[in-house]
Amino acid sequence: MTTLVMIAKETIPGRVKTRLHPPLSLEQAAELAAASIQDTLAAVASLPASRRILLFDGKTPPENTEGWEIMPQVDGGLDERLGAMFDECEGPTVLIGMDTPQVTAADLLPAFGPWRPGVDAWFGPATDGGFWALALASPDGDLLRGVPMSRVDTGAIQFDRLRAAGLGVGLLRPLTDVDTIEDAWRAAGYAPHSAFAKTLVGFRHDEWVAA
């Protein structure tokens, strides 16, 4: 029995993926974020999760989230919001983000089968120094509270926090978390048939705002 949690923000222009502007317009950045969410939902659809939670910041959930529980994000920093979510869950819980459209079900399968002896957590590092996935056999929000987020050393600090708590940590493969336009093209190259890649390629360069 494993809970799957995806953290996501409503794709409103000017509120999501603003570092893609420029060269993308704010509307295009929001459209690309929506495509990333859909790719992620499609990738995890086959995973044997007993409970699916959308940890959501917004009013209108994305399409194709029928069957997902909507859990509003609490106030505070990202560490507080993630910590509160883990405190609400019981049993093995797998957290993923909305910003790795190249993710596949196979990337997360280790956290959904029998866990290897000695493994208490699974950690998915992101190439920007953060992390794209975190699974805990025994959810505990204090394992995340106080970890500085959105920094180049966030992943290292979070990993060290898990190890300092005495947890055995298994590693998932590194993925590109999309923050910049360079990240976007890199992720699209890894998954050229994704909705994300098709959306990005479909933007006409002469419609992009000037840098």
**Is residue 32 within 8 Å of residue 184, measured between CB atoms?**
yes
Mean pLDDT of 95-124: 97
Query: So what's the pLDDT on residue 207?
Result: 59
Q: How many domains does the chain have?
A: 1
Looking at every residue in the chain, the average pLDDT score rounds to 96
Task: Domain of residue 156: give its range.
Answer: 3-207
As given in the structure block, the two tokens for residue 69 are 């529980």
pLDDT digits (tens, 9 = 90+) for 36-60: 999 999 999 999 999 999 999 999 9
CA-CA distance, 149 to 126, in Å (whole number)?
A: 13
Q: Identify the CATH number of the domain in which residue 56 sits.
A: 3.90.550.10
pLDDT per position as a tens digit, 125-153:
999 999 999 999 999 999 999 999 999 99
- Report the share of the chain in percent with pLDDT over 70: 96
Average pLDDT over residues 70-81: 98
CB 124, CB 107: distance < 8 Å: yes
Of the pLDDT bands very low, low, confident and very high (cuts 50, 70, 90), residue 113 is confident
Mean pLDDT on 106-118? 95
User: DSSP characters for 44-96?
Assistant: HTTS--SEEEEEEESSSPPTT-TTPEEEEPPSS-HHHHHHHHHHT--SSEEEE
User: Which pLDDT tens digit goes with each residue over 7-34?
Assistant: 999 999 999 999 999 999 999 999 999 9
Cα separation, 187 vs 181, in Å, equals 10
Count Cβ atoms below 10 Å from residue 80 Cβ, excluding itself. 17
pTM equals 0.95
Please tell me the distance from the alpha carbon of residue 94 to that of residue 127, in angstroms, as a whole number: 19
